[in-house]
Amino acid sequence: MSSMHLLLACIFFTSVLCIRQPILSVTSKADPIYTPHWSSLDARPLPSWYDEAKVGIFVHWGVYSVPAYACQDGLAEWYWWFKQQNYLGCQTAWHNTTYGPDFSYTDFAPMFKAQLFSADRWAKLFKKSGAKYVVFTTKHHEGWCNFPSAEAWNWNSVTNGPRKDLTRLIVNAVRKQGLRMGLYHSLFEWFHPLYLKDKANNFTTQVYVDEILQPQLHQIANDYAPDLIWADGDWEANDTYWKSKEFLAWLYNEAPNKKEVIVNDRWGANVESKHGGYWTGDDRWDPNSIQKHKWEDCFTVDAGSWGYNRNATFSNYLSIHTMIDLVVGGVAKNGNSLINVGPTADGLILPIFEERLTQLGEWLGVNGEAIYGTRPWVEPKDVDVTPGKNITVWYTTKKDALYATVMGWPYDNIVKLSLPVPTQFPEVQLLGYNGTLGFNYNEQGLNIRMPSVPSQLASQWAWSIKLIGFKHKSM
Look up the CATH number of the domain holding residue 48. Answer: 3.20.20.80
Amino acid at 107: D
pLDDT of residue 23: 30
Give the pLDDT confidence score for residue 9 in this predicted structure. Answer: 44
Q: Are residues 329 and 460 in the same domain?
A: no
**Band of residue 454 on the pLDDT scale cut at 50, 70, 90:** confident
CA end-to-end span of the chain: 76
Least trusted range by pLDDT, from 211-220, 276-285, 330-339, 422-431: 276-285
CA 306 to chain CA centroid, Å, is: 13
| Dihedral (Cα; 162, 167, 168, 169), 10-degree rounding | 60
pLDDT band at 433; cut points 50, 70, 90: very high
Q: Are residues 381 and 355 in the same domain?
A: no
- Residue 29: inside a domain, yes or no? no
Domains held by the chain: number:
2
Residue 5 or residue 53, greater confidence: 53
198 neighbors 205 (Cβ within 8 angstroms): yes
Q: Check pLDDT > 50 for residue 25.
A: no
Distance from C-alpha of 84 to C-alpha of 410, rounded to nearest angstrom = 52
The SS3 call for residue 215 is: helix
Mean pLDDT of the chain: 92
Q: Are residues 135 and 200 in the same domain?
A: yes
Given 352, 370, 388, which residue is the final one in a domain?
370
Packing angle, helices 351-367 and 320-332, rounded to 10:
50
| Residues 210 and 322 reside in one and the same domain | yes
Residues 440 and 325 in one domain: no
**pLDDT for 301-310, tens place per residue?**
998 899 999 9
On the CB side of 365, CA atoms within 13 Å amount to 12
| Model pLDDT for residues 127-163, shown as the tens digit of each residue | 999 999 999 999 999 999 999 999 999 999 999 999 9
Reduced to 3 states (helix: H, G, I; strand: E, B; else coil), residue 204 is coil
For residue 249, give its domain range.
Answer: 38-370
Least confident of 10-19, 80-89, 200-209, 297-306: 10-19
pLDDT in tens, 66-114: 999 998 778 999 999 999 887 767 888 999 999 999 999 999 999 999 9
pLDDT reported for residue 388: 58
**Mean of pLDDT values over 433-441:** 90
| Residue finishing a domain among 370, 390, 405 | 370
Q: Look at 31 and 119; give whichever has higher pLDDT.
A: 119
Q: Report the C-alpha gap between 213 and 186 in whole angstroms.
A: 9
Residue 140 near residue 77 (C-beta atoms within 8 A): yes
Do 155 and 101 sit in the same domain of this protein?
yes
Residues 162 and 242 in one domain: yes
Alpha carbon 327 to chain centroid, angstroms: 12
Do 273 and 402 belong to one domain? no
Among the candidates 351, 370, 389, a domain finishes at 370
> Quick one: average pLDDT of 7-30?
40
Least confident of 17-31, 165-179, 369-383: 17-31
Starting from the edge strand earliest in sequence, which strands make up the sheet with 389-398, in order?
375-386, 389-398, 401-406, 463-472, 420-430
Say what the pLDDT of residue 283 is. Answer: 78
Is residue 376 very low, low, confident or very high in pLDDT (cuts 50, 70, 90)?
A: very high
Instruction: Look up the pTM and report it.
Output: 0.91
Which burial class, exposed, middle or buried, applies to 346 when counting CB atoms under 10 A from its CB (0-12, 13-18, 19+)? middle
105 and 179 in a single domain? The answer is yes
| 33 found inside a domain | no
Angstrom distance (rounded) from CA 153 to CA 144: 10
pLDDT on residue 29: 62
> What does the alpha-carbon distance between residue 155 and residue 159 come to, in Å, rounded to a whole number?
7
